[in-house]
Each structure stands twice: as structure tokens, then as C-alpha cells.
Amino acid sequence: MARIAVIGAGIVGLACAFHLRADGHEITVIDPAPEGDKCSWGNAGGIGVAEVVPAAMPGLFWRVPGWLLDPLGPLALRPAHAPRMLPWLAALASATRPKRMEQAAAALASLLGRVYADLCPMLAAVGLEGQLHRAGALTVYRKRLALYADRAEWDLKRRHGIVCEQISGAEARRLEPALGPDITFGVVTPAWSHVSDPKAIWAALLADARTHGVTVRQGKASDVRTEGRVQLASGEAVDCDAVVLAAGAWSAPLARQAGDRVLLESERGYNLTVPAPGVSLSREVIFAEQKFVATPLSVGLRIGGAAEFAGLNAAPNFARARALGKLGASYLPGLSLKGGLQWMGQRPATPDSLPVLGPSPRRPDIFYAFGHGHLGLTLAATTGRMAADYFAVRTPPVDPLPFSVARFN
């Protein structure tokens, strides 16, 4: 049994705490605001097991100018932040090479293939198995050309064994009668699922941690250079035998202290959660052309998306959340946006869309568990399982090599 400090009380840190305390370790979770808003609270609630397609697809950069032209469109890059992003962008460009993209997709597929085997037992253990709705997802298109432009992505998914059923607009409306008449195609991915409320899962994991003797310590980890202790910004320290770094989009400076270069950006996403939308969906719907989603949650219909690169400290631009609501209403004609709650979250994004999972090559007492981008909720349980396997020296369920931090050096 070891004393393990888990840095970060997001869904990933708590899933690591869950698996590590189950192995009998003594866990301290450190977070400056353990019960404060975080990316894990307000996400779209999708269990996106079909998402093997990395952001860095060949041809990506041809599509970017069109997205950037719309100030409230799916992609935004704040000019003041752009120079600081150059190394990340260069790595993104390099990750679009077909061979690199195929490798990333295969690695993602290996992790995503584990999701239900790890997530279902974790949800059951915290009494939330009823929170998972295995209803599939429906991706919809207005234009034939847009579906045609996405064909490489659908082919890639199919090559990885993911069932993707193309249907007509009328069939899509039969599945989701709230959709408007201008939908001409849909693609059903039955393996997908969604949860009732991502924040409820986070809260149940936090409560479970406390019930099982995990110490949740308020504090900002400021220094991990000395083995055997995590220094806090307050001047106090947490003594430990090992560390799991799961601080989401804030992880890179701490990894750097351990001697590991990481390319990590905050990819900010927005959403609007409407408590009484006046329409109902029975599964997550993905609006392919404008790159946003709508998920029927217990707290309302959540309409969200966007990728905004502005750094960790820029003020949110909630006009994006409102714009997403309006877009939603253009697809779902009966949608009322009244009382919609605006939210912004910082996705921890790597240029190759792969999380950083595994030990620091220089500091084997530190396990990295961050960089989950769009898939942190989906991959949290599998990440926790891999962290526990590492400290128990068990063979992990998937090859950890593609996720090593060493790929950035």
C-alpha cells in the first residue's frame, strides 16, 4: 500500500482515486477548489465510444479558414493567444500526416474499446448505473456535400469496427421527431450512450471517495520537484510515495517540473442548458455541419460545442453559448431557450487528441492522467484503471505506449 497524492478533483482525478483506493492505497486528492466548477461538471454528457477520429485529420487546415470566418462559429483563436500556441499548432499540423493520424485513431480505438468494461462497474459501485442511457447517437446533416466531405471520418470509424448506419432525413425524424424538415441525412452510432448528468457522476465519485477514507484536501499543487512530497501554494506540503497528475488543462507546468515537456492547450467549449426546452430528444444528437451537440440530460436539454483557443485565463465569451442555443433552435423548431443556463469549460487538449496516460520516464513515482480533450468523461474510468494497474504492476488492458508523455520530446 502506498500514499498517493492525486492532483486534481475533476472526473479523471476522482476516477483515479476510485481505482487506487480500491487497491488499498491511502489517497489524498488535492484541488484548489475541490467542489468548484470544472470541465467535468458541465460537459455534454456523451459517452463517445465512436470518437476514434482525431482532430488532426488530413486536410484539416483547408477547413479551418471557413470555420474561423464566423466569429461565433465552431472554432475560434484569440489573436493575443496565437503566438503562444505555435508549438502546439505545429504538432497539430504534423499529426495530420496520414500515418500519424491512423496511429492516433488506432490508439484511441483501443482505449475506447475498454470504456464500458471500466465505466459500468464504476457507475454501479457508486449507485449510478441508472445514469447511463445506452441509446446510441444520431449525427445529422442538412447538406449531402457535408456528409460527402465527412466520408473519410465515417470510413475510419467503420474500419475500427464501429457500426455507423446511414439513414435518410425522414428516418432521422422518425427517430427524433423534434428535428426540423431540412435534415436530409443521418448517421446512427448505436454504441454511443449518454449520462443523465455529468455533474451528478462527479459528485457521486467525490462522495464515494470521502466515504472510503480518501482525504480531499483544498490546496493548489505548486511544486512536485521533490520526490515524496507535493508542495502546495499555501506553503504546506502533502507527503506521499507517489503522485497522479490529473489537473486537466492545468497539468502542463507541473509535468514540466518533473522534466517532461507536454503540449497541452485549453480548448474552451460552451453550452446552454435549457431546463424546459419544449422539445424532447431520446439520444444525443450531433449536428455535423456546425459541430455542436444536443443531449437530453436530467437537468434539461444541453446544447453545446465550440472550440475556442484563448488560454487558461481569458474571460469567457458567453455570446458563444447563446449562439449555440440559437443554432439549436434552427434545427429543433419547437425549442424554447427560456431560462437557458450558460457555461464554459476548459478541455485539456493535446495536438494528437490522445490523452497523456502513464508514468513520467524521469520520475516513475508520477503517473500522468490528463489531456482527455473531448473525451474526459468517456475515458475517466479506463484512465483510473490504468493508473491502478501501473502502481500494482499489473498488465494494463491496452498498450499504454501511444499515450506516453515521451511522444512530446
Ligand X SMILES: Cc1cc2nc3c(=O)[nH]c(=O)nc-3n(C[C@H](O)[C@H](O)[C@H](O)COP(=O)(O)OP(=O)(O)OC[C@H]3O[C@@H](n4cnc5c(N)ncnc54)[C@H](O)[C@@H]3O)c2cc1C
Cell of 231: 508542495
- Taking CB under 6 A as the rule, does residue 39 contact ligand X? yes
Q: Between residues 277 and 376, which has the closer beta carbon with respect to ligand X?
A: 376
Task: Please give the C-alpha separations between residue 33 and each of 129, 207, 220, 251, 338, in angstroms, as whole numbers.
Answer: 27, 15, 8, 15, 30
Q: In a 3-state reduction of DSSP, which class is residue 338?
A: coil
- Taking CB under 6 A as the rule, does residue 292 contact ligand X? no
Q: Between residues 172 and 221, which has the closer beta carbon with respect to ligand X?
A: 221
What DSSP line would sit under 238-270, residue for residue? Answer: EE-SEEEE--GGG-HHHHHHTT-----EEEEEE
Neighbours of 370 (CB within 10 A): 30
- Taking CB under 6 A as the rule, does residue 38 contact ligand X? yes
- Taking CB under 6 A as the rule, does residue 347 contact ligand X? yes
Q: Of 74, 169, 296, 304, which one interacts with ligand X (CB under 6 A)? A: 304
We find the least distance from the C-beta atom of residue 254 to ligand X, in angstroms, to be 6
Q: Between residues 202 and 331, which has the closer beta carbon with respect to ligand X?
A: 202
Q: Taking CB under 6 A as the criterion, which residues in 246-265 touch ligand X?
A: 246-250
- Taking CB under 6 A as the rule, does residue 9 contact ligand X? yes
How many residues line the site for ligand X (CB under 6 A)?
A: 40
- Taking CB under 6 A as the rule, does residue 296 contact ligand X? no
- Taking CB under 6 A as the rule, does residue 340 contact ligand X? no
Q: Between residues 101 and 272, which has the closer beta carbon with respect to ligand X?
A: 272
Owner of C-alpha cell 427524433 = 176
CA gap 266, 268 in Å, rounded: 6
Backbone angles phi, psi at 109, to 5 degrees: -60, -40
We find the least distance from the C-beta atom of residue 198 to ligand X, in angstroms, to be 7
- Taking CB under 6 A as the rule, does residue 40 contact ligand X? yes
We find the least distance from the C-beta atom of residue 31 to ligand X, in angstroms, to be 4
Task: Please give the C-alpha separations between residue 322 and each of 198, 230, 329, in angstroms, as whole numbers.
Answer: 21, 41, 11
Q: Between residues 178 and 377, which has the closer beta carbon with respect to ligand X?
A: 377
- Taking CB under 6 A as the rule, does residue 385 contact ligand X? no
User: Which of 181, 215, 192, 187 lies closest to 46, judged by CA?
Assistant: 192
Contact 5, 17 (CB under 8 A): no
> Which stretch, 87-95, 103-111, 137-145, 369-377, contacts ligand X (CB under 6 A)?
369-377
Site string for ligand X, 50-89 (x = CB under 6 A): ----------------------------------------
CA gap 204, 192 in Å, rounded: 22
- Cβ-count burial 326-351 (b if 16+ within 10 Å, e if not): ebbbebbeebebeebebbbbbbbbbb
Q: Between residues 21 and 347, which has the closer beta carbon with respect to ligand X?
A: 347
We find the least distance from the C-beta atom of residue 251 to ligand X, in angstroms, to be 7
Task: Please give the C-alpha separations between residue 109 and each of 51, 54, 160, in angstroms, as whole numbers.
Answer: 8, 10, 7
Owner of C-alpha cell 473525451 = 375
| Site residues for ligand X per CB under 6 A | 7-13, 30-33, 38-40, 43-46, 48, 220-221, 246-250, 269, 271, 304, 345, 347-348, 370, 372-378
